[in-house]
Amino acid sequence: MKVGYIVKSHAHTIEDTTYFKDVYSIDEDEKRELIRDACEYAWDHNDGWEWLSDGTIITLVINGVEQGDFPIEVESEPVFIVRKQI
């Protein structure tokens, strides 16, 4: 089964599905993990903070059929830049 996602707030429709993974089977418990994978894929292949933000709703798509809308939370992770003082 082809697993993908759309972001309706970006004016995506089912025809705009980004497929990122193939799986043999899926149950309801695995959908949350697939949404997490979709978020990571979307983050890495788009503009990160500018593309996904807290509260964005991602629609899980399997084989061209919407599986539900999932609001996401984006946690911030501090980044430290260290330079030796001269």
The predicted model scores a pTM of 0.79
Q: Say how many residues make up the chain.
A: 86
Here the contacts of 62-70 (C-beta below 8 Å, separation 24 or greater) are 62/1, 62/2, 62/3, 62/4, 62/26, 63/1, 63/2, 64/2, 64/14, 64/17, 66/6, 66/14, 67/31, 68/31, 69/8, 70/31, 70/32, 70/35
User: Is 90 exceeded by the pLDDT of residue 61?
Assistant: yes
pLDDT score recorded for residue 77: 73
Q: What type of residue sits at position 35?
A: I
Each residue's pLDDT tens digit, 7-19: 999 899 999 999 9
User: Is 70 exceeded by the pLDDT of residue 80?
Assistant: no
Mean pLDDT of 29-57: 83
Cβ–Cβ contacts within 10 Å for residue 43, how many?
14
